[in-house]
Chain A
Amino acid sequence: MAAVAPDPPTPPDPPPARGAAPTGAVPHDDPAHRLGLALVCAAAEPALSGVLLLDLDPRLVDPVARVFGAVLAGADEPARPPLVLGAADRDEDLWTRTRIRGGEHGITVRTGPGPLTEGDDADGAPPLVVVPDLARLSVAGMRAAVQLLGADVVTVERGGPRRTVRPRARWLAVCRSADVGRVSRHLLDRFALRLSVAGLRLPAPGGALQEPGAAEAREALLAGLADTRRPASGRGIGPVSVDDAAIGRARDLLGPDAGVRRELALLRLARTLAALDGAPSASAGHTDDAARLIGVSVPQSAPERAESDPEPPGTGPEPAGPPGTLPERHGSGGGGRPRTRDGARALRDTGPAEGIGTAPGAAPSPAAGSPYPEDEPAAVRDAVPLSSPRRRTTGPVSTRGTVIGTRRATDLRDIAHVRTVREAAVHQRARRTERFTVSPVDLHSNVRAAAPERVLVLLLDHTCRAGDGNWPEVLAPFLQWAYTSRATVQVIEVGAADAADELRAGSFTARGVLDPRVPAALHRRAGRATPLAHGVELAAQALRRLLRRQGTGPAEAWLVVVTDGRGNVPLRAGHTGRTDGEVAAAGVEDAVEAASRIGAMDRTRLHVAVVDPGREPYGDLPYVLADRLGAIVVDGRRGPGTEAAGG
C-alpha cells in the first residue's frame, strides 16, 4: 500500500475567464469538463461516493487523484494523502491499523480502525481511496469496496476494534473498458458515478502537467464550470426535491432493464447538479444533464429544462400517506393526489424513448463512450470473483490468505500483534516487571487459509457421449489425483440436455470430487447445441483466475477436456445467448482460437489433456484442439492409460 504525499496548500488562483455558461448545459464532448463536474458532484453528495473512470490514461491517475483530493479538501485546507489500494492489500491492511510506538516506558502497541472506516462523525475533508486498476484489485480490496461503497452502515469486527459507522470515504477507481468483465458486476454496480474519459487531457496550469500542484490543477480543471458550481463541493448541498418528470426521464434514458441503483445514481446526480445550480428542484432537464455528464445518450427531442419554472425553495413532500402511497411530485413542488402502487393511476407520460438501445443499461453517447461497458453483449465475465478461495488442508503455509487463527511464532514474519499482546498479558504478573513487557515467547504469528494447492478443471462436452459413455472410467486417473491431493474441482459443461441455456456453457466450483455435483455431471444426457468455444473460454477464465489469485496460485493444475471438437455454437452466440446468421465452422474455429489462449499459459504448473471419444467424421478435431491447448490426447474409447498422442 502506498500513499501519495500531499501537496502544500496553495492559495487558489482566480479562475481563468473561459466564458463558461452560468448554469445548465454540460459540454459532454469535453472529457476534462465532465470529469471536473463529476468530481465536484462526488465531493458534494455523499451518495455519489464512488467514482469509476473508464479508460483513463494510467499516467493521469495520480494527477486526477490529486485534483480529487484538492476538490474534497476545498480551498481552505490542504488535501489529505489518498489511500491507494492494489493487488496486494489484505483485510488486515484495510480494516485496522496497528501502530507500534516507542516511548519513555518502552514500546506500545495499539490497534485501531483503519482509514477506510472513518465515519461521518469525523472532522475535516473525507478521505480519498484510489484504486489505479480495479480489475487488479485484490479480493480483499474488492470485498471491502462492496461493503463500503454507498453503504448506509458498515461494521468492523476485527481483533480488537469494534466499530459501526456510516462510511464517508470517497473512492476513485480506474478500469479499462476491456477489463470490466474481470470485475464483479456486483462491485461495478456500487460505483454511483461512472464515466468514460478516454482521450482525457488535463488542462495544465502553466503547462506543468507532470507535477501540478493539487490546488492549481483543481482550479485549472474546474475553470470551465459555472461559478455557482465550483465552490460548492466542499460544503455539501442542501435539500433539493426531484420531480416526477425527472424520475420518469431517468427510466427512459437508462432503459427498462437498468437496475434501481443505476436509476437512483442518475437521479442523485441530477439532484446534485440542480443543487449546484441553485435550483429548488431537479427536473427532467437536470436528468438529461446528468445523463450527458456520464455519457448516456440523450435523444434530440428531449425536453429542455424549464429554467424559468418557478419553484418555491424548501418545498417538501406531503407528510401523510399510508405505506405504498406517495404524493405526486411536479416540477413546482407541492402535493397532489396520492398515487397508489396498485396502478390505480398510470404513471405520467415520460416522453419519447427513441434513441434508446437494446442493451440493459442505456445507449452510450457517441461522444463520451458508454459508462456501462459490461452490458455489451461481447463483454467477457469472470465467475464468482468476490469469493475467497476454498480452504484446503494440504500444501505449504500461505502468507497471503485469510487469517484463520494464530500459533506460536517461529520467526518474525506475519506477527499477530493482538494475539501476542494477549499472551504477554497473561504472564505480566509472573514477570514482576514495572512495565508491560513482551517477551520472545509471547510472539505469535498468523495462521492463514491456504489457497487451493491443486486444481482440476473438467470441461465436459455432453454431446460427444456415445450411448452411456464411460466417462467415470476414462476420467478415473484424474479424479483419483484430485481426491488424493484435495484438489478443488471446477466443472464446465456444454451440451447438456437440461442446460439452463443451451447456447452457453455452465460452470460450478466444487470443494472436491466428493461434491455430489461432480459425479452427477458425468452422467447427463446430451442436448443439441455444443457451445464448445464458450466452454473453452470459461475454462481459460477459471485457470487465469486461479493462477493469479491472491499471489498464491495453485502448485499444479490439470485441465481435462472431454470433447469431439465439433462445436456448433459460435462464441458470440455464447455471449449474447442468441444465434444470428449461419454458423458454418465458426463454432469450431472459435473453440480453437479460445484454446490457443490456454496454450499460452504457465505450463510449469498447468497440464492439459484432451479425451478423444473417437467419433467420425472429423475425427481429427480433438487433435487440432489438443495442439492449440498444448495437451496430451487420451483415447476415450479404450479408457485410461492409453495415451494416443503427445501435444
Chain B
Amino acid sequence: MNRALPGPRILPYSRVVAQDELKLALELHHVVPRIGGVLMAGPRGTAKSTLVRAFALMAHDALPVTLPINATDDRVVGGWDLDALLRGEPRPQPGLLEDAADKGLLYVDEVNLLDDHLVDIILDVAATGVLSVQREGLDTAKYLSFGLVGTMNPEEGGLRPQLLDRFGLMVTAETLDATARHLLLRTVLDFEEELGREDSAWLAAARRDDARTRERLTAARRRVGDVGVPEHILELCARAAERSEAVGQRGEIVAVLAARALAALEGADRVAPGHLRRVLPMALRHRRPEAVQGDAFDWGPDDEARLQDLFED
C-alpha cells in the first residue's frame, strides 16, 4: 500500500539559499550519526522542511522516513499487514521506528505539535535503545538506533524537556537580508519554471552540485575516525558547558562529536578550538536552563561573552 512518490519536487539541496547553520548541522549529523539528531526552529516560511527533505534526497536519494504528527501508534512501533491478515496471512509490518533505524534518521515535521503518546513512545525507544512490542499478538524486542530530525515553529509552543534533550544539535533559522530574500525568490521561481521543462540544464547543474556535496560528506565520514581530539579541547568543552550552565552532560559530549565532524569536513587532522567554538551554540543552546524551562532558544551576545575569554588564546 505504500505508493511510491512519482518524483518529489523538492528544491535541490545545493540550491537552497542561505540557512548555512541549518545545513551545517545536518551535514555534521550525517558525518557523525552518534550526534543523535538535529532540531530546527524558526518562523514560518524559512525553508526548514524543504531543507531536510532536500538533504535526504541529496544524501540518500530518498525522502526521509517521516513521522507525521497524526500517525497512529501501530504505525510507529509496528503491527500486522492488514490486507495480508484479511487473506489469512499473518505478516508483520515494521513500524516507522524500524524504518528509521534502517535509514538512520527519523524526521518529524512540526515536532512541537506531536501528540504526547507518540512522544512517550519515541522517548522510551531513544532512552533505552530497545523497541519492545508486546501487543496484538506481537512479542518482539529489537535494538534500534536512529537520529531524530525535527522542525518546529516556536510560535506554536515548545517541546517537553526530555524530548528537547534527545536532539543532539539545535539550530535556529536565520532571518534573510534583502539580497538573500531576492535570491531565494529568484531560485524558487526558477526551480518551478524549470520543472516544466524537459532536459533542464538548470536542474542538471543542481544535481551535479548535489553529487559533489555527497562526495564531500562521504569522504568526511570515512575520515572522521582518524581525526584526533586533543585533551585541551575536552577541557575547553567542559568549561564552556559549565559557563553556559548546560543541563546534563549530553551537551558537551555532542559538542565534541560535532567539532570532530566539522574538522573532518574541513579536512583537518585534529579538532581545533575554532571547530569547537563554531558548534558550541548548536550543542548547548537548548540545554541552558532558560531553554529547558521555556522557549528561549536564541544564542545572543551574552552567551558569546560568557565564552569569550576561553577562546582568546
Binding site for B on A (CB under 8 A): 47, 91, 95, 108-109, 111-112, 119-121, 140, 143-144, 146-147, 152-166, 184-186, 189, 238-242, 244, 247-248, 250-251, 256, 259-264, 267-268, 271, 316-324, 326, 329, 339, 341-343, 347, 384, 386-388, 390-391, 402-405, 418-419, 421-423, 425-426, 428, 436, 449, 508-509, 516-517, 520
Contact = CB atoms under 8 A, between A and B. Distances in A.
10 contacts: A153-B53, A158-B70, A162-B2, A166-B9, A247-B182, A247-B185, A318-B202, A384-B157, A386-B156, A421-B85
A316 B113 contact: no
A320 to B, nearest CB: 6
A238 B194 CA distance: 10
10 residue pairs, one from A and one from B, having the closest CB atoms: A319-B201, A239-B196, A261-B45, A425-B85, A157-B75, A157-B71, A404-B117, A155-B66, A162-B2, A384-B157
A99 to B, nearest CB: 13
Contacts of A154: 68
Contacts of A341: 17-18, 179-180, 183
A59 to B, nearest CB: 33
Contacts, number: 233
A418 B82 contact: yes
B61 to A, nearest CB: 15
Nearest to A150: B45
Contacts of B82: 111, 159-160, 418, 421-422
B68 A316 contact: no
Given A147-B110, A152-B10, A319-B201, 5 more contacts: A146-B110, A186-B153, A247-B185, A259-B43, A388-B116
Contact of A152 (B9, B88, B178, B187): B9
A259 B116 contact: no
Contacts of A384: 156-157
B15 interface: yes
Contact of B209 (A165, A263, A323, A418): A323
A402 B75 contact: no
B126 to A, nearest CB: 18
B44 A185 contact: yes
A157 B186 contact: no
B155 interface: yes
Contact of A402 (B47, B109, B117): B117
Given A159-B72, A316-B197, A388-B115, A119 B3 contact: yes
Nearest to A248: B182
B44 A319 contact: no
Contacts of A317: 190, 193-194, 202
A402 B119 CA distance: 14
A238 B196 contact: yes
B267 to A, nearest CB: 19
A316 B202 contact: yes
Interface of B: 1-6, 8-10, 14-15, 17-18, 43-47, 49-50, 53, 63, 66-76, 79-80, 82, 85-86, 88, 90, 96, 109-110, 112-113, 115-117, 136-137, 153, 155-157, 176, 178-190, 192-197, 200-202, 204-205, 209, 293-294
Contacts of A262: 45
Contacts of A119: 3, 5
Contacts of A256: 178
Contact of A324 (B4, B10, B17, B293): B17
Nearest to B10: A152
| Chain A interface helix/strand/loop/mixed | mixed
A275 B2 CA distance: 36
Contacts of B17: 324, 341
A147 B69 contact: yes
B179 A347 contact: yes
Contacts of A260: 45-47, 176, 181, 184-185
Contacts of A238: 196
Nearest to B71: A157
Contacts of A121: 3, 6
A180 to B, nearest CB: 15
Contacts of B186: 244, 247, 326, 329
Given A152-B10, A319-B205, A391-B117, A165 B200 contact: no
B1 A425 contact: no
B281 to A, nearest CB: 20
Contacts of A318: 202
Nearest to B117: A404
A449 B63 CA distance: 31
A42 to B, nearest CB: 16
A426 B89 CA distance: 10
Given A147-B110, A390-B116, A162 B1 contact: yes
A108 B82 CA distance: 12
B15 A323 contact: yes
A342 B285 CA distance: 28
Contact of B181 (A153, A185, A263): A263
B5 A153 contact: yes
A159 B77 CA distance: 11
Given A147-B110, A259-B44, A449-B116, A95 B9 contact: no
A147 B50 contact: no
B204 A240 contact: no
A157 B73 contact: no
Contacts of A339: 183
B199 to A, nearest CB: 10
A121 B7 CA distance: 11
A402 B115 contact: yes
Contacts of B3: 119, 121, 163-165
Contact of A251 (B67, B155, B182, B200): B182
Contacts of A425: 80, 85-86, 88, 90
Given A162-B2, A164-B66, A238-B196, A326 B117 contact: no
A24 B157 CA distance: 44
Contacts of A422: 79-80, 82, 85, 136-137
Contact of B193 (A241, A343, A387): A241
Contacts of A324: 17, 183
Contacts of A508: 294
Contacts of B204: 319
B72 A157 contact: yes
Contacts of B75: 157-159, 162
A165 B5 contact: yes
Contacts of B47: 260
Nearest to A346: B179
A159 B66 CA distance: 15
Contact of A155 (B68, B73, B80, B193): B68
Given A341-B17, A508-B294, A164 B2 contact: yes
A108 B90 CA distance: 18
Given A146-B110, A166-B8, A404-B73, A316 B200 contact: yes
Contacts of B201: 316, 319-320
A261 B47 CA distance: 10
Nearest to A112: B1
A186 B156 contact: yes
